[in-house]
A and B are shown apart, each in its own frame.
Chain A
Amino acid sequence: MIALLACALALPLPPAERFRFPAVRLDTSPTVVLLPEPGSGLVSAQWLFDTGAADDAPEEFGAAHLVEHLAFGDIGAEGAADYDERLGHLGGLSDGWTDRERAGIGATIPAADARSGADLFGLELARMRTLVVSGGSLTRQRAVITEELAETHDAAHGLDRVWLSRLLWSGGEPWSRHPASPPQEAIAAGAAMARWTRLLENGVLVLAGDFDAAELRALVEAALPAGRRPSPRTEGELGQPGCEPAAPATSWTRGNGNRGSVLVAWPVPGRGHRDRVALEALARWVGGARVSVGAGCGEWVAERTDAWLALPHHRASIVRALREVAARGLDAAVLDRVRAEAVADQARAFSSLPLRARVAAGCVLAGRAPDCAADEVQAWLDLTGEKLAGAAARWLPAEAVTTLAVLPPGTRFAPLIPGVREWSAP
Chain B
Amino acid sequence: MSPLLLVLLPTLAEGPMARAELSFARSEGGPEVDLLVEAAGAQLRARVAGRLGLRVEAGCGALRCRIALDGLAPAVDAALPQLLAVPASPAPRLTLPERKQARRSWRGAWRRPATVLDAALHRLAEGTSAPLGLRPDLGRSALATSWAAGWAQARRLVVAGDYSAEALTAALAGQEVSRVDTGSTGPPASRGNATRADAEGLPLLAVDWPDASRAQVALVWATDPAQAPRDQALAGDFQSHLVQALRETRTFTYDVSFDTFDTWATASWDVRPESAWESLTVALGELWEQGRKDDAGAREAAWRRLLLGRALLADTLHGRIAGSSLGPLPPLPAAPFSAPSVIGAVVVADLHALTPEWQALPHSELDRCTLLYGANCPPGS
Report A's interface with B, CB cutoff 8 A. 7-8, 11-14, 18-19, 37, 39-42, 84-85, 87-94, 108-112, 140, 143-144, 146-148, 150-151, 154, 333, 336-337, 340-345, 347-348, 350-353
Contact = CB atoms under 8 A, between A and B. Distances in A.
B254 A344 contact: no
Contacts of B71: 344
Contact of B239 (A88, A109, A342): A88
A344 B50 CA distance: 11
Interface stretch (B57-65, B94-102, B174-182, B312-320): B312-320
Interface centre among A8, A85, A90 (most CB of B within 10 A): A8
B44 interface: no
Interface string B246-284: 011001111100000000000000111000000000000
Given A7-B78, A11-B52, A112-B304, A84 B252 contact: no
A150 B248 contact: no
A18 B74 CA distance: 14
A8 B305 contact: no
A84 B53 CA distance: 38
A344 B55 contact: yes
Contact of B253 (A12, A19, A92, A147): A147
A40 B254 contact: no
B308 A347 contact: no
A42 B314 CA distance: 10
A340 B52 contact: yes
A349 to B, nearest CB: 10
Interface centre among A93, A140, A350 (most CB of B within 10 A): A93
Contacts of A92: 304-305, 308
Given A93-B238, A147-B251, A8 B51 contact: yes
A110 B311 contact: yes
A151 B246 CA distance: 15
B298 to A, nearest CB: 9
B73 to A, nearest CB: 8
Given A147-B253, A147-B254, A8 B78 contact: yes
Contact of A350 (B15, B55, B74, B312): B15
A88 B301 contact: yes
Contacts of B271: 147
Given A93-B305, A140-B251, A37 B74 contact: no
A93 B52 contact: no
Contacts of B50: 8, 333, 336-337, 340
B237 interface: yes
B367 to A, nearest CB: 20
Nearest to A90: B304
Given A92-B308, A108-B308, A344-B53, A11 B78 contact: yes
B13 interface: yes
A343 B315 contact: no
A15 B312 CA distance: 27
B252 A147 contact: yes
A154 B315 contact: no
B239 A85 contact: yes
A342 B224 CA distance: 43
Contact of B16 (A14, A37, A87, A146): A14
Contacts of A39: 12
A140 B312 contact: no
B297 interface: yes
B53 A150 contact: no
B315 A352 contact: yes
Contact of B213 (A13, A154, A337): A154
Contacts of B315: 40-42, 352-353
Contacts of B72: 11, 13-14, 340, 343-344, 347
Interface of B: 12-17, 48-55, 71-72, 74-75, 78, 213-214, 237-239, 247-248, 251-255, 270-272, 297, 301, 303-305, 307-308, 311-312, 314-317
B15 A18 contact: yes
A347 B304 contact: no
A375 to B, nearest CB: 16
B74 A12 contact: yes
7 contacts: A14-B15, A91-B303, A144-B247, A144-B254, A147-B252, A148-B254, A151-B214
Contacts of B305: 88, 91-93
Given A8-B78, A89-B301, A344-B71, A41 B311 contact: yes
Contacts of A110: 304, 307-308, 311
Given A13-B72, A147-B253, 19 more contacts: A8-B50, A11-B72, A12-B74, A40-B13, A42-B308, A84-B239, A91-B301, A91-B308, A92-B304, A93-B305, A109-B304, A109-B308, A111-B311, A151-B253, A151-B255, A337-B49, A344-B72, A348-B17, A353-B315
A13 B303 CA distance: 42
B74 to A, nearest CB: 5
A2 B50 CA distance: 15
A194 B74 CA distance: 51
Nearest to B79: A8
Contacts of B17: 344, 347-348, 351
Contacts of A12: 74
Contacts of B307: 91, 110, 112
Nearest to A72: B238
Contacts of B78: 7-8, 11
A20 to B, nearest CB: 10
A94 B75 CA distance: 34
Interface centre among B72, B78, B255 (most CB of A within 10 A): B72
B206 to A, nearest CB: 20
A85 B298 CA distance: 10
Contacts of A342: 53
Contacts of B49: 337
Contacts of A37: 13
Contacts of A345: 53
B237 to A, nearest CB: 6
B51 A11 contact: yes
A147 B253 CA distance: 5
Q: Which 5 A-B pairs have the closest CB atoms?
A: A91-B304, A344-B53, A88-B239, A143-B251, A148-B254
Contacts of B254: 144, 147-148, 150-151
A306 to B, nearest CB: 13
B233 to A, nearest CB: 10
A355 B277 CA distance: 39
Interface centre among B14, B305, B314 (most CB of A within 10 A): B305
B247 A352 contact: no
A12 to B, nearest CB: 7
Nearest to A145: B254
Given A147-B251, A151-B254, A348-B17, A89 B297 contact: yes
Contacts of B297: 89
A379 to B, nearest CB: 16
Contacts of A18: 15-16
Interface centre among A11, A154, A351 (most CB of B within 10 A): A351
